[in-house]
Structure formats: C-alpha cells, structure tokens
Amino acid sequence: MSLRSTLRAAGVGLAALVAMACGGASPPPAAVDVGSGQLNGAGATFPEPFYTKAFYAYNQKYSQVSVNYQSVGSGAGVQQFTKGTVDFGASDVPMNGTEVANAGGADSLVQIPTTLGVISMAYNLQGVSRLQLDGDTIVKIFQGQIKRWNDPALTALNINASLPNKDITVVHRSDGSGTSYAFTDYLAKQNAGWKDVGKSIAWPAGVGAKGNDGVAGQVKQTDGAIGYVELAYVVQSGMRQAWVRNKNGKFLQASVAGATAAAAEAKNVSPTNFSITDEPGDASYPITSFSWIFLKKSQTEATKGKALVYLFKWLTTDGQAYGKDLQYAPLPKPVEDLATATLKSVTANGTALLQ
C-alpha cells in the first residue's frame, strides 16, 4: 500500500481521534451557510496527507460538503484546472504568468497559500545515523559531480561518521512537481552552477520516481540513495534524513519549527513573492515552501462556490491544526489574513460568496 493510501486509511479509521486530538480546530459555526456539493480537486502530492485528514474532518462536521482530492502532482493539477475538469487545482508553487494566461488570465482566478511544508533530504545509508550536508554538496550530488559517499567534500562535513566507499543513487521526481520547484529554487541559491529551476527539469543525474511517496519508496528500498521528500512522508515511513546547513551556518533537520522560523523571515507573501528557501536565522530550515490552491474567481454555481470558499477559509485558519501531527507548520497570521482577503473576492452572479 502506498503512503498516501496508508495515511488516507488512517485518517478515515481514526476519525474520532482526529476530532479529539484537534479539539478547538472546529469548522465555521453551524449557523453559517457553508454551501454544499461534491468538490473535486487535483494537484500537489506535497500537502496530500494534510488535505486528506482535514477534508475528511470537515465532511464529518458538514456532511453536505465532500471533497475528492487526487494527488497527481503540481503540473497535472495546473493542467486539470486549466481544462476545467476540477473545481480547484493545487500546486506547491503558484501558477506562473504563462499558466495564468492559459487558464483565462489574472482576473479570472485567485491563488491562495494553504499550508507550510518542509522538504527533507532523505537518505538510505547503512551505518550512518547522522549525515551532514551543505548546499554546495547537495548541488554537486544532484549534478552528478559527487558520485560516491566517501567523496572528500562529504567526509569533510562528516568527520565523526564513517562514510562508505559506495555509489550515490540520486532520486528525483519524474512528474511535474512543486516540490521540485522549491528544491531547485534552493539549489540555485547555493551554487551559481545550478541554473534550472522549475516543476519539470532535465535532471543531470539520478533516477526518477512519481510523487513524494514514489521518491520516498525508491530511497527507502535502495541502499546508498538520497532524495528530496516532503517531511510528512519521511516521518510516517521512518526514514533517515540529513542535517542541512542553513544560511547562518547551523546544521538542522527538517522540522515544523524550522519551517515556522523560515516563514517568519518572509515578508509580504503573494503569488509573485513566494520563495522562502534559504531564509536567514539560526532556527530557519533552508528548504521550506508554501503550498497553494487556485479557484475560479467567478463561480458559475453559487451553492458549490460557497462550499469552496468556506472550505478554504476554514482550512487556512482553524483547519491548520490538522496538519500539526503530520509535520505541516501552521500558516503565519499575515498569510492567513491574505488567504481570507483573497477568498472574499470570489463571487457568483456578482455577489461575494464569503460573508
């Protein structure tokens, strides 16, 4: 069973525990008309464990609203939203200018940050419990320049570890991925030799796998492998993750606290100012990213449109509590406010849906 399926099954099977564990994270008051309908979404695998848990909990409170989310990757999420086959798309990077134009233009849609995730450097190396990496060595590993675990650049960073004379197997995403965008955005800030930043790139080394769960599975079954994986998948599958040196020279493992610290350094977050990789601060983990959803600004069905805006109003405020145990950091208050303000611009027949 894939990690996504395991988490989904766990979320459904533990519905009562979810409600107890996240007491206080209740959906909007029952007196509010939250709309109704079956909502279909598709996109990023990065936030899928959080979405699965939160959407299920919301449905338990408001049975008239159900959500079907398919974690097919950020690139596919943009494509399906553009084609109009889903009610909302999801990506770990906002739609760029070309994608926005293809979807009808900036006046036709809204983009909203929904959660804050952390990208871990997951590895599988027998006998090495603490692996330390810096940005330059990560770049050179993914470029294929550092090919063996006992390379002098790695041994210099790991003087207390016995690194084996073993080939490094690099694992990267094979599908269009916002996780890849955030990771390559980080790489480009570490070494001027890394030029390619995007959801889909021509990787110079390694093997591909689909989705965060695919990369996690490939790393876990391959001795000597390393890959970039959203933290929730690493924790749930019990994988080892490296300590990464941040901008202030501190070695940190991916963590919710590290994501929160990085996000606190970012100011005026928006769909055009969204990168929070390599932020300063002793506590800032350097490979951190927001995840986003996008909706049509003018909804054709008022009842369903209302269900969409109230769902995401809750998800970006009280619903953040459902991500804590899955290693997702809550949105900073200014970003919550941005999401709410953006949702208030969504209308049906000229009338704002979020009151």
Distances in Å between the Cα of 282 and the Cα atoms of 13, 117, 225 are 39, 18, 28
Residue 138 shares a structural domain with residue 55: no
Q: What is the pTM of this model?
A: 0.84
- Cα 308 versus chain centre, distance: 20
CB 185 within 8 A of CB 197: yes
pLDDT attached to residue 316: 98
1-13 pLDDT tens trace: 454 554 444 444 4
Residue 271 lies in a domain: no
Residue 158 shares a structural domain with residue 38: no
Phi, psi at residue 99, to the nearest 5°? Answer: -65, -40
Q: In whole angstroms, what is the distance from residue 179 CA to residue 176 CA?
A: 9
Q: In whole angstroms, what is the distance from residue 230 CA to residue 288 CA?
A: 9
Residue 83 shares a structural domain with residue 13: yes
Give the helix ranges, DSSP H, for the chain.
3-13, 15-21, 48-61, 74-83, 97-102, 135-143, 152-157, 178-190, 211-221, 231-236, 256-265, 302-315, 333-343
226-268 pLDDT tens trace: 999 999 899 988 999 999 999 999 999 999 999 999 999 988 9
CA atoms within 13 A on the CB side of 28: 18
- Structure-token pair, residue 172: 């990267």
130-182 pLDDT tens trace: 999 999 999 999 999 999 999 999 999 999 999 999 999 999 999 989 899 99
CB 281 within 8 A of CB 330: no
- Of 80, 81, 73, the C-alpha closest to 44 is 73
Q: How many domains does the chain have?
A: 2
Residue 146 shares a structural domain with residue 241: yes
pLDDT attached to residue 267: 86
CA 143, 145, 148, 150: dihedral to nearest 10 degrees? Answer: -120
Residue 197 shares a structural domain with residue 165: yes
**Beta-sheet pairing, 88-91 with 288-296:** antiparallel
Residue 247 lies in a domain: yes
Residue 284 lies in a domain: no
Residue 255 shares a structural domain with residue 129: yes
Residue 204 shares a structural domain with residue 228: yes
Residue 165 shares a structural domain with residue 110: no
Owner of token pair 């606290």 = 257
CA torsion sign, 275 to 278 to 279 to 283?
Answer: positive
97-138 pLDDT tens trace: 999 999 999 999 999 999 998 999 999 999 999 999 999 999
Residue 123 shares a structural domain with residue 260: yes
Cα angle at 149 between 162 and 244, to 5 degrees? 85
CB 112 within 8 A of CB 339: yes
Task: Name the band, by pLDDT with cuts 50, 70 and 90, for residue 16.
Answer: very low
Q: What is the helix (H) or strand (E) element at residue 121, kind and residue range?
A: strand 109-124
Q: At what angle do helices 333-343 and 302-315 cross, to 10 degrees?
A: 180
Residue 295 lies in a domain: yes
Residue 281 lies in a domain: no
Residue 278 lies in a domain: no
Answer with the one of 231, 249, 265 that is the final residue of a domain.
265
Distances in Å between the Cα of 52 and the Cα atoms of 56, 66, 236, 249 are 6, 11, 15, 36
Owner of token pair 């999801």 = 90
Residue 339 shares a structural domain with residue 323: yes
Q: Which domain holds residue 336?
A: 3-116+290-352
Residue 216 shares a structural domain with residue 109: no
Residue 112 shares a structural domain with residue 8: yes
279-313 pLDDT tens trace: 999 999 999 999 999 999 999 999 999 999 999 99
